[in-house]
Amino acid sequence: MAFDPIQEDCLRLILELLRREHIYPLDNAAVIERGMTQYQRDPDALVKTDRDRSFHLVAKAAELADYRVPFLTDEDQINKEDDRAEAILREAVELDPKNWDARRMLTAICANSNDEYVSYLLDNRAAVEHDIEKIVESADNPYDEEYAQDLGKRPYLRWLAALSSRALIAGQYKLSLDAARDLLEIAPDDPADVRYTAMLALAKLECDIADLKAFKAEHPRAFAASPIQSRRPDRSEPRQDAWSLLAQINVLYRAFDFEGASHVLRLLLRTYPHTSQALFYQAEFPDGLYARVNVMPGSQDELILAISEATPLLQEGLGAPENAGFAVWLANHELVQSALDEDVAQLSAMVNAARKRGNN
């Protein structure tokens, strides 16, 4: 799944620990375990340089912005935490002006609009790519080489993933797809999960089912071995993620193939728990500042995230009297309504059972 800021911070600091103590080879299990223990106990004790501190601050800002603020309800508390995240990122940029994660996240917070943010990502893309290339070219020892092969490239991958995601929101669907393709060319295993954004962009570009299948075939490593296990397995149907299924439903819906769209909707209902509730309420979840937020594969949280990111698809047809819109079609579909009734009945039965146990 998507990048984990805490895990990455830990990996970076352990690599620097290995460098300081001249440990080689780099897979020394005892030192790595010691570093992980230190990180869990007091990560600040491992921070020795401005570059270390700068990324450590990025991880802290990501925790606040991506994993705390979205779940707050008090407006004053939200504003307070947003201000904290911004201040942390400003310090990170001051410590390391080449920290492109910090600069990107700070711009995302301060930009006046999504279009302005997309323009920033486009204008500075070449500079980020150039810096990553310099990291690779200048690596002349085992520690720098290890960093350059993976950790050093990640800020550029996150840059492209953000560009793809925000371009989709901005209605620049070809740009969104092109950025996704560029990322997948660099990282075929897709650690940024940009393939999901690409499926939504393809749907908005009015492709057909064959185009969706062709894209998956072009990027087998990205789509291989989905960890999602259907709640009610059907051997005749391959396991698929929510983004792919929503893209297929949308494509079939626009082609007026309502029978086909309903068939894929049935697959979606079988794959995720409490799907009907997520499809009915269609809650929006803010884009991750650091990267797409980490959720459990196959969980309702993943489904909610996918539905939120599919908002450009869901909004199709809104305001047109002759077309009630894809969002309304999904929410009111008989399969969704029937499953929703079942969920309500099950919840009612559980509440009644609990009451009976309490009265005994």
51-107: pLDDT as tens digits? 999 999 999 999 999 999 999 999 999 999 999 999 999 999 999 999 999 999 999
User: At 136, is the secondary structure helix, strand, or coil?
Assistant: helix
Q: Using an 8 Å Cβ cutoff, are 191 and 3 in contact?
A: yes
Cα–Cα distances (Å) from 197 to 9, 160, 188, 306, in that order, read 25, 11, 15, 9
Instruction: Report pLDDT digits (tens) over 138-154.
Output: 999 999 999 999 999 99
Residues of the chain falling short of pLDDT 70 = 1, 225-238, 317-324, 344-360
The whole-angstrom separation of Cα 3 and Cα 1 is 7
The whole-angstrom separation of Cα 250 and Cα 256 is 10
Q: Using an 8 Å Cβ cutoff, are 32 and 24 in contact?
A: no
pLDDT for res 72: 92
pLDDT for res 355: 55
b/e string for 70-81 if b means 16 or more Cβ within 10 A?
Answer: eeeeeeeeeeeb
Q: Which residue matches tokens 């371009």?
A: 167
Which alpha helices (DSSP H) does the chain contain, by range?
Answer: 5-20, 29-41, 50-67, 75-95, 100-110, 114-138, 142-149, 154-169, 173-186, 194-204, 209-218, 220-223, 242-254, 258-271, 275-281, 300-309, 311-314, 326-332, 334-359
Residue 58: phi and psi, rounded to 5, are -60, -45
pLDDT for res 321: 43
The whole-angstrom separation of Cα 293 and Cα 304 is 12
Residue 112: phi and psi, rounded to 5, are -75, -20
Q: Which residue(s) pair with 320 in the sheet?
A: 323
- For the chain, the maximum distance between any two Cα atoms, rounded to a whole number of angstroms, is 74
